[in-house]
Amino acid sequence: MFKKILIANRGEIALRIIRACKEMGIGTIAVFSDADARSLHVKYADEAVNIGPPLSRKSYLNIDNIIQAAKSSGAEAIHPGYGFLSENQSFALACADNNIVFIGPPHEALLVAGNKASARKVLSSLGIAVIPGSDGIVSSPQEAASIAGRVGYPVIIKASGGGGGRGMRLAHNPEELAAFFSVASGEARAAFGNPDIYIEKYITAPRHIEIQILGDQYGNYVHLGERECSIQKRYQKLIEESPSSCVDRSLREKMGATAIAVAQAIGYSNAGTVEFLLDGKGNYYFMEVNARLQVEHPVTELVTGIDLVWQQIRISSGEALSLTQKDITRKGWAIECRINAADPDDNFMPSPGVISDLTLPGGPGVRVDTHIFLNYEVSPFYDSLIGKLIVLGEDRKMAIHRMQRALSEFRIGGIKVTIPFHEKILQNKDFISGNIDTYFLDRFETTG
């Protein structure tokens, strides 16, 4: 097992990883920008290295500085957390070049997962259901028009180097398709350094269901069931839960087997997530692979009792999975609300500033993953996520009551946060009855 791990991240996820390392008897090295010198991840880690100015590009995305910090501190492995360099193949390669273990999938799998059009092509050739559309990248407006004619409008244009909804364009007719096609490729190149685009039939009002998997370096895999992630705002998830009210045991087993087949096909190991769209008829389609630990991983941890960060570290150190599929049991219902420093009454505009008042919720079945404290200053330089409130109940009804109770205890003063917005969603009758799809928030924001 590793003696020292460097955590190449900040905020709540850096704390989450440091906590796992401490429990495993592993030394921790934090890295921090000038904006984060007073942060808890710096205090909690055994050592901390400054890696540059506040701008992410100059610190948390600066591969050279992070590798240098790992070498000077004697770290044997780097955990990238989520965001930043977590799915960056160049970073995984730089780790390998310097004899540092990247705690994540092999760099070859990062390449396939990061290239959405080729992942689609590979998986569909293996008989895995992908959303009807192009076979790989689309190179001309004529080709785009012919595919759309075959699968039917509306179609969605996606960037192969994108993911998570970034760079998507919806076309309802040939005119829109022609207009979007000409700009989409240039936009994709500018945003992701990759001009490749592909086309899918647009699935109406789907549910976004993802399967958590674990794989070791010896070809053993398990799946840990689904997370329901349909409640999103501009492709940013707000609430996630596990299980999903639309997934029964048989569908879970099928989707789990498909997720493992995807992982096998791309040589994936470590923790990962396979995203699917589920339509109203119970058909599910592969969408993309998230090659990292995700923000919403705690809901899976609470219902399975498995610590995903422990598992990641063990897998990366070369241990074989000690779990088989029959060891994975699920109990209860978990819900997560993402707490952002953002103003729901002003289009979720970021709301940085000093936290002048703070009361954290607690009690049975309540988990708070956060890096904030009284008088902490939320920086304008980074993502607005300042914490996650996760609850576990015996069933969905109890989890909802517990979340309502925990939200009512949670007070953050001095900045605008998403807590009041979550309180309203948790009172909504469609949410309460489990009647949610990817249009839920649009309906909620127009009719309340």
| Nearest residue (CB) to ligand MV4, 2 versus 180 | 180
Bridge partner list, 36? none
**Using CA atoms, how far apart are residues 344 and 420, in angstroms rounded to an integer?**
9
Give contact residues for ligand MV4 (rule: CB under 6 A): 131, 156, 164-165, 200-203, 206, 208, 230, 232, 235, 277, 287, 438
Q: Is the peptide bond before 154 cis (omega within 30 degrees of 0)?
A: yes
Q: CB of residue 237 vs ligand MV4: minimum separation in angstroms?
A: 8
Which amino acid, 180?
A: F
| Nearest residue (CB) to ligand MV4, 70 versus 335 | 335
The residue with tokens 């999938």 is 105
Handedness of CA 9, 13, 17, 22 (dihedral sign): positive
Residue in 92, 424, 140 with CA at minimum distance from that of residue 268: 92
Q: CB of residue 262 vs ligand MV4: minimum separation in angstroms?
A: 15
**Using CA atoms, how far apart are residues 396 and 417, in angstroms rounded to an integer?**
25
| Nearest residue (CB) to ligand MV4, 218 versus 235 | 235
Secondary structure percentages of the chain, helix, strand, coil, to 5: 35, 25, 35
Active site residue 166: no
Number of neighbours of residue 396 by Cβ within 10 angstroms:
19
| Nearest residue (CB) to ligand MV4, 167 versus 332 | 167
Cβ–Cβ under 8 Å, residues 207 and 255: no
Q: Is the peptide bond before 344 cis (omega within 30 degrees of 0)?
A: no
| Nearest residue (CB) to ligand MV4, 216 versus 275 | 275
| Nearest residue (CB) to ligand MV4, 204 versus 324 | 204
Q: CB of residue 163 vs ligand MV4: minimum separation in angstroms?
A: 7
Annotated catalytic residue: which of 292, 330, 338, 367? Answer: 292
Q: CB of residue 169 vs ligand MV4: minimum separation in angstroms?
A: 11
Q: CB of residue 221 vs ligand MV4: minimum separation in angstroms?
A: 23
Bridge partner list, 213? 223, 272
**Using CA atoms, how far apart are residues 5 and 20, in angstroms rounded to an integer?**
11
Q: 61-66, long-range: CB within 8 Å, 24+ apart, which pairs?
A: 61/85, 63/88, 63/90, 63/91, 63/94, 65/31, 66/6, 66/8, 66/31, 66/91
Enumerate the active-site residues: 292
